[in-house]
Structure 1
Amino acid sequence: MTSYRSLHEGWTVSGGDLSDIPATVPGCVHTDLLAAGRIDDPYLDENENKLAWIGRTDWDYATTFSFAPGALPLGGDRTDLVCEGLDTIASITLNGSPVGSTANMHRGYRFDVGSLLREGANTLEIKFTSAYAYAEAEQRRLGHRPNAYDEPFNFIRKQACNFGWDWGPILVTAGIWQPIGLETWTVARLAEVRPQVTVADGTGRVELRVRLERASDEPVTITATVAGRSAQATVDGTEALLILTVDDPSLWWPRGYGDQPLYDLDVVATSPSGAELDRWSRRIGFRSVRVDTSGDGYTLIVNDVPVFVRGVNWIPDDVFDNRVTRDRLAARFRQAADANVNYLRVWGGGRYESGDFYDLADEMGLLVGQDFLFACAAYPEEEPFRSEIEAEARHNVLRLASHPSLVVWTGNNENLWGHEDWDWKPVLNGLSWGAAYYYELLPRVVAELDPTRPYWPGSPYSGTPGRHANDPAYGTSHIWDVWNTDDYTKYAAYRPRFVAEFGFQGPPTYSTLRRSISDDPLAPDSPGMRHHQKAGDGDLKLARGLANHLPQPRDFDDWHYLTQLNQARAVSFGIEHFRSLRPLCTGAIMWQLNDCWPVTSWAAVDGDGHKKPLWYAMRDAYADRLVTLQPRTGAPLEPGGPLTEIEPGAVVPPAGDPWLVAVNDSRTPWAFSATVTRRNLAGDVLASAVLDATAGPSEAVTLPLPADLITPGDRATEFVIAEIEGRRTWWFFAADKDIAWPAPDYTVSVESGRSTRVTVTAATILRSLTLFPDRLHPTAEADRAAVTVLPGESVTFTIDSDVDLDPAALSRRPVLRCVNDVVH
């Protein structure tokens, strides 16, 4: 029988002029030094800048453990040191004897150490060479390859964003970041168990490929069971194929489409005497998945049902992976599901996500697309990288293939686009850049090990190497000119087939800012704020976005409210536009759900786990049933949109008059009656109409509006509201900055209890009314944001908080805000 002993206790770490610092395993040197009080928290103020030396230092981890006489391996046994993850360039010794070396954070290693173990005390040491020293030496050896940042992350198989990103700090880690232990086994162990799960015509099928690693040549019997079915094979060699069929299994569905039944799949290896040698268990789900690329599109099909992807991009939830617990992942996944998200794209500059991540996705019905780990850079194809990358790909495809939530493998993030458009070719001058990985090695590995899942060479990718990788008329595209150079109204000029990245920045919540930045006073350009803005010209881009739409802020409180509001409006504008284009457009994956530290970024949930106004806007824009007003001319929509033809910085007027679009992502028909009115700022109805229609499942219905609704008498004081079953959408004929908003007039009542209820009754129109209770306590969170209220209407905010909140503070600025109060 296989036995396992973890080696997580008694570690110390030494490096530079520091010796024998207590170390936590799994963990990393930064968190060890922080726990020992040897460094300041790198997430606070500008402390990151003081810690660059850590990534340029070699670090030694050591522990001593005891082995009793009866625990030593016997003649027919083998004991392996199992390292599930070492970060990154490591050499291992046991009792002073070399065990092995590693050069890849993204795969596990196993070493036979039976001959090196001894009775009594054993000393295990792992020496980590500076990631910088290794990467820079490889860069000199192989020649410079361009990337998005002045860091050598493309010359080491390590989490790229450890070297900084436009939302992340430069904190180059080292350490034993995954479990480590000793595994003793006899005769044989289950080295690989690879289930290929399919379902067709009501029958589930599990093709189970097993590879043994042997310590002796005795026959081994392998038994597999699932859903009350079993199969068995006795093998003298190292490989076996077992096939199990399950009649009429319950299908696994994405959230919103059905349930997520999971079946226990157990595999046991036994000796001729019947003794158990090894065991492997996973939960699987029966479902089919493919990507339909007919007509040059990109449509995800699950169980033969097209799924419109309502997605978010996922980055590592903390720079230090050991701090990302299952509970923390569960909280983040609940935030995604509560925002009506059905898809997580694991971005290629982070990590292959954990078993906990995928188990939770399986249970909650969240679809996952996993990038292979290449991002925004040209990657060398020479050795040792080619062999490391193949081993890494094999390791992770085998590790994750049993999860029904995983629906697509993608070769890289933006490297095909970068090679085409980012001036790489003159710099490369014929050097390798990764094409052989994306077009040859990775598809070959997926086809061999995981043929039931689709592979897509890159994000973005237009379906063929001969076509511009980021042409929105084909395949998948990323839209970043909006943030980088243009106004968010430019989204409306696009008619993409599938948008895998788009987004707009905003600062984190106020409580997160005050915890992480000690600037006094806070200002958009105060030192800590500047340090926690990593995007090139990020503050200028935020200012440009505000200037196009909203009144000028008078102070930091205005700036914080308005930049968060503008972020929410920009992203919801894009989501609603893309969803309104179905079936031409089949998915939208906003950038990004989460942050890895406190920072001004594109995230909907900040680095402390707090929801920004963007989260609430995304929840509404991703609702199963959406009502939206969209510009249309009546002409048929053709795929495409801007690549470069619109002047940078331009505010792009919506092309056409507003039409009503009802989008139904539910599984049942939606028969609705829409009330549409044109009003003035006093709330008076100037024109009205009722439109009746039915949107079938997975369908968008587009309806023209009568001329009197879309022809304002005064563009600066009139607007259109469409309402269906309490869902509202608004169309303003002018930007907020050009509207003469009345001074805000309202009354507030506060009811305290298990939750606090704040009811605001408007005497005037209140534009984008938002409550920020986290300004009073970091745990306080409201249930809605950016609600526009007509005169005479009331809206109630429900607040969850760990403490009682001051009713008076909940009733006034800066906790209670609307656009009106910025100009009055």
Structure 2
Amino acid sequence: MSSYRPLHDGWTLTAVSGDAEVAGVAAAVPGCVHTDLLAAGLIADPYLDDNEARLAWIGRTDWVYETVFDWSGDGFERTDLVCEGLDTVATVILNGVQVATTANQHRSYRFPVRHLLREGANTLTVRFDSAYAYAEAQRAALGDRPGAYAEPYPFIRKMACNFGWDWGPTLVTAGIWRPIGLESWSGARLAEVRPLVTMEGADGRVRVHVRVERTAEGPLTVDAAVAGVTAQARLEDGQCEAVLELAVPEPEPWWPRGYGAQPLHELTVSLDGRRWSAKVGFRTVELERDGGAFTLAVNGVPVFVRGVNWIPDDCFPARVTRERLAERFARAAEANVNLLRVWGGGLYESGDFYDLADELGLLVWQDFPFACAAYPEEEPLRSEVEAEARQNVARLAHRASLVLWCGNNENIEGHADWGWQEKLAGRSWGAGFYHDLLPKVVAELDSTRPYWPGSPYSGAPDLPPNDPARGTVHIWDVWNREDYTRYGAYTPRFVAEFGFQGPPAYATLRRAVSGELAADAPLVLHHQKAIDGGAKLLRGLGEHLPQPQGFDDWHYLTQLNQARAVAFGIERFRALAPHCMGTVVWQLNDCWPVVSWAAVDGDGRRKPLWYALRRVYADRLLTVQDGAVAVVNDSAEPWTGELSLVRHSLTGKPLARASAAVEAAPRSVELVPLPDSVAVPGDPAAELLAVRLGGTRIVRFFAEDPRVAFPPAAYDAETAPVPGGLEVTVTARTVLRDLCLFPDRLDPASTVDDMLLTLLPGETATLRVTGSPDPEALVGHPVLRVVNGPTVWTGARGRARGR
């Protein structure tokens, strides 16, 4: 038997180095120093204005957390202090006696402390030394290593992006970031339960590896049960490990979103009244690599990955609740995403994260926490890496959603292509982790899913790592140097990173910046972390959109360009299936209010990119590619019908028509050549192409927007109250290019259900707006925007009319 007592109350925080005068401040556990100081009113919110710049001292200070708790003898043989997360360089002291030192945010710890407990009051102290001081000392001892940023994150097992990234602030944390408590027990306890769940033919198989910790000798019985099937193992004197086999006849398989249901079954393991349980789903996962392919197959079915990269959702992870994760996951699912890549500069995520992924059918690609740097392999780091890998592989092995372990993000590419080899001068850089240690750990502890050494990676150490013809590729010449039409020159097998920047929602930026909102305003620029990011945003407009005339134009046009750029890439890559079998957009989410590549900003608001993702990640997609219409059908049913092709004037007058019978098989792409009658315009500046199949319609212009002879936008708009908000009906009098509503400009709580709509004259769109924005202002500039609307064009020829 056992009992558990959380130790989350009564903590105080004190600075014990540097010049900070912080003593006895009430502290929240789980939490961190930054959030405690913020709650106490001792620092300004680091996410607002440029407050971050004045808070670097926190990461260079040593801190002490302390609490006093009462304890009395409870009759158990042993009591352990269980620390699920210490960030990072910690010394644990109980009643004046040092219990342990730790230096790994990615691990949990258990320390026997019964001999140190006393009747009545007990004092628990956790000292956190500066992560900077520790990492810099390791760097001095082991020799510097090259990386993307001049920060010492490779020298400490801690969330790398705490040290700043091209989308994140430098806020180096410390604290008890996951639960802490006392567990008392007698006889024996389940030290580790590692179920490996798969299918053999039509039957489900669970192989439960159990490790037991004992306080006494004697036989023990371990029981396991799932889906009505039971198994039992007997441990004799001295035995501490057992394997229980459960065969479940013909369970309903677990499938990714869009491929089937996600049935989950409770697996229980019991020992001497102690019970462990988890939800498991039956499926198989393979990685098909023939001919340079990178294709994930679940239950034998190849899956086209419609993915997004996931970064830590907050710089202070203890603030990320299950409810917040559920909201982010809902946004992913609504955008037709089927995979989340947990990026290597962050964390092994919480149990809530993987629970939600299992329940929603969102596949998880899990990077080990290494990113964008050469990592030393010497001690003490090697032992820490092995310990964290063993612990987390065992913790996550039963997860139905987890389909891939990946060794790192961009480190193999960095060593090959970023000039690291000369700087390293023969020093270790992580190859031993990615090609030896980590694959051995995965092979030993989790045989149910594949391991991939890193991304990008071409499948062998001697191959160029970022070769589009093999394995996974990251495409960053677009955004950094090239126009987004460059995506059209790629024929990749799998794109694991690509993206384009855009600002956050207006309400998010307005909350974060107290001063002037302008593209070049100092406080706005503080929320742009990419090198030369502001200039790249404007340069990225290229020939596609006009240069903005003021902040409102900058905000709309750069958000719109972000959406168009990413959509262009996804359409290209989906049209290449099955040669290309996946895209993983950089990125779904943000950790604070920032100009970035995210589709959902740091306050959880959807950017125009999110609406574009929902369209181009839909099961069924029409896209014009290289003189043909690609009919992309990633659904389980055939997509049949008459493909309608109409070349229109900008007034909506049909100029030419064509049609073709289409029968796109499930999970296929059919290419329909465009006849010259509709593909070749008489006047590219005054015509467009409309393509329709069933309920799906796309519009393509023959010239870039600045060269289109758009009429001044004219429309009628009506608003009507509905439960929870307003219904907005817009009827086009002229062509309306990329219609968007931004109701958060009027009411920060307001949202809209759709945007990026192009309407021909006479067409109508009805939008649903939540919240309480002013109805009249809602349908006027700058809340309602179209490319050919007011103030977008220099010397605008008219003003949009609405009522």
Give the TM-score normalised by structure 2. Answer: 0.97
1:755-791 alpha-carbon deviations (Å, 9 max, x no partner)? 3111111111111111101111111111111111101
1:669 aligned onto 2:638? yes
In 2, distance between residues paired with 1:698 and 1:753?
39
Q: Which amino acid aligns with 1:584?
A: H
| Aligned residue in 1 for 2:547 | 552
SS of the residue corresponding to residue 775 of structure 2 reads: coil
1:367 equivalent in structure 2: 363
State how far apart, in whole Å, the 2-side matches of 1:701 and 1:805 are. Answer: 44
Q: Secondary structure at the match of 1:340?
A: coil
Output the amino acid matched with 1:63: T
Runs of 4+ in 1 over 3 A off after TM superposition: none
Matching of residue 761 in structure 1 with residue 725 in structure 2: no
Instruction: Report the Cα distance in structure 2 between the residues aligned to 1:620 and 1:735, rounded to whole angstroms.
Output: 21
Pairing 1:799–2:754 present: no
Matched AA of 1:189: R
SS in 1 for 2:393: helix
| Cα distance in 2 for residues equivalent to 1:217 and 1:538 | 64
1:243 — aligned with what?
A: 245
Hey, what does 1:187 align to over in structure 2?
187
Q: Distance in 2 between matches of 1:392 and 1:441?
A: 12
Kept after mapping to 2: 8 A contact 1:598/1:608: yes
Cα offset, 1:326, TM superposition? 0.1
**Stretch of structure 1 that moved more, 758-767 or 730-739:** 730-739
Residue 788 of structure 2 aligns to a residue whose secondary structure is helix
Deviations 1:542-577 (A, max 9, x none): 011113310121110011000000000000011111
Separation in 2 of the partners of 1:805 and 1:705? 44
The one-letter code of the counterpart of 2:59 is G
- Contact 1:29/1:175, CA 8 A, preserved across alignment: yes
Match of 2:66 among 56, 62, 65: 62
> Which residue is equivalent to 1:115?
115
The answer as to whether partners of 2:296 and 2:303 remain within 8 angstroms in 1 is yes
**Distance of 2:111 and 2:449 partners within structure 1:** 31
For the residue of structure 2 that corresponds to 1:27, the secondary structure is coil
Q: 2:260 is aligned with what amino acid?
A: G
- Listed one character per residue, the Cα deviations across residues 123-152 of structure 1 (whole Å, up to 9, x for unaligned) are 000000000000000001100000101110
1:268 shift after superposition:
0.5
Aligned to 1:814: 782
Secondary structure, in 3 states, of the residue corresponding to 1:719?
strand
For the pair 1:584 / 2:552, whether they are aligned, the reply is: no
Q: Answer yes or no: is 1:312 the counterpart of 2:312.
A: no
Distance 2:336 2:244 in 1: 39
Any residues of structure 2 matched to 1:137-286 within 5 Å, and which? Answer: 137-236=137-236, 237-270=239-272, 276=273, 278-286=274-282
Equivalent pairs, count: 785
SS of 2:685's equivalent in the other structure is coil
Quote how far apart the aligned CAs of 1:714 are: 1.3
Residues 549-558 or 344-353, more deviating: 549-558
Contact kept? 1:187, 1:218, Cα under 8 Å: no
Corresponding residue number in structure 2 for 1:532: 527
Q: Distance in 2 between matches of 1:745 and 1:98?
A: 74
Q: Residue 202 of structure 1: CA displacement?
A: 1.1
Is 1:774 aligned to 2:744, yes or no?
A: yes
Query: Are 1:625 and 2:650 counterparts?
Result: no
Question: Distance in 2 between the 1:128 and 1:247 partners?
Answer: 51
Q: Does 1:390 align with 2:397?
A: no
Q: Deviations over 1:362-412 (max 9, x none)?
A: 000000000000000000000000000000000110111111000100000
Matched residue type, 1:529: V
Q: In structure 2, the residue corresponding to 1:181 is in which secondary structure?
A: strand
Distance 2:48 2:483 in 1: 32
Q: Per-residue CA shift, 1:630-683, capped at 9, x if unaligned?
A: 12xxxxxxxxxxxxxxxxxxxxxxxxxx31111111111111211111112111
Paired residues of 1:487 and 1:548 also in contact (CA < 8 A):
no
Q: Which of residues 596, 604, 616 is equivalent to 2:611? A: 616
Secondary structure at the counterpart of residue 675 of structure 1: strand
Q: Which residue of 1 aligns with 2:478?
A: 482
Who is 1:458 aligned against?
A: 454
C-alpha contact (below 8 Å) 2:646/2:654 kept by paired residues: yes
- AA aligned to 1:372 is F
Provide the secondary structure at the position in 2 that maps to 1:529: helix
**1:683 and 2:652 matched:** yes
Give 1:535's aligned amino acid. Answer: A
Question: Helix, strand or coil for the counterpart of 1:337?
Answer: helix
Matched residue, 1:647: none
Q: Does 2:756 correspond to 1:786?
A: yes
Shift of 1:206: 0.8
In 1, Cα distance between equivalents of 2:51 and 2:705: 39
Whether 1:729 aligns to 2:690 is: no
SS in 1 for 2:663: strand
TM-score under structure 1 length normalisation: 0.95
- Answer whether contact 2:483 2:542 (CA < 8 A) is retained: no
Q: Secondary structure at the match of 1:427?
A: helix
Unpaired runs of at least 5, structure 1? 271-275, 632-657
Q: Secondary structure, in 3 states, of the residue corresponding to 2:213? A: strand
5 Å-filtered alignment, 1:2-17, equals 2-15=2-15, 16-17=20-21
Question: Alpha-carbon deviations, 1:311-351, whole Å to 9, x = none?
Answer: 00000011110110000000000000000000000000000
CA–CA distance in 1 between the matches of 2:644 and 2:36?
A: 60
Measured after TM superposition, the shift of residue 119 of structure 1 is 0.2
**Structure 2 residue 596 is matched with structure 1 residue 601:** yes
Whether the 8 Å contact between 2:344 and 2:370 is mirrored in structure 1 is yes
Structure 2: give runs of 5+ residues left out of the alignment.
797-803
How far apart, in 2, do the equivalents of 1:526 and 1:673 lie?
Answer: 52
Q: Which residue of 2 aligns with 1:652?
A: none
1:62-117 Cα offsets, whole Å, 9 max, x none, are: 0000012x32x55xx11110000100000011000110010000000110101000
Q: Deviations over 1:491-511 (max 9, x none)?
A: 001000000000000000000
Contact between 1:604 and 1:611, CA under 8 Å: does it hold in 2? yes
Partner of 2:801: none
Counterparts of 1:380 and 1:163, CA distance in 2 = 18
Partners of 2:779 and 2:189 in 1: CA distance: 66
* C-alpha distance in 2 between matches for 1:241 and 1:795: 60
Q: CA deviation at 1:731?
A: 2.4
- In structure 1, distance between residues paired with 2:717 and 2:698: 25
2-side partners of 1:777 and 1:32: how far apart? Answer: 30
Structure-2 separation of matches of 1:264 and 1:769: 48
Question: What is the rounded CA distance, in whole Å, between the counterparts of 1:173 and 1:727 in structure 2?
Answer: 48
How far residue 805 of structure 1 moved from its aligned partner, in angstroms, is 2.0
Displacement of 1:208 in angstroms is 0.9
Distance 1:233 1:706 in 2: 70
2:487 corresponding residue in structure 1: 491
Q: After superposition, what is the alpha-carbon deviation per residue over 1:785-811, rounded to whole angstroms, capped at 9, x for unaligned?
A: 11111011111111122xx22111011
1:174-208 deviations in Å (ceiling 9; x for gaps): 00000000011111111111111111221111111
Distance 1:39 1:517 in 2: 17
1:169 alignment partner AA: P
Q: Match for residue 45 of structure 1? A: 49
- 1:477 and 1:501 in contact (8 A); partners too: yes
**1:165–1:534 CA contact under 8 A, matched in 2:** yes
Distance 1:407 1:304 in 2: 13
CA contact (8 A) 1:498 1:586 kept: yes
Contact 2:538 2:547 in 1 (8 A): no
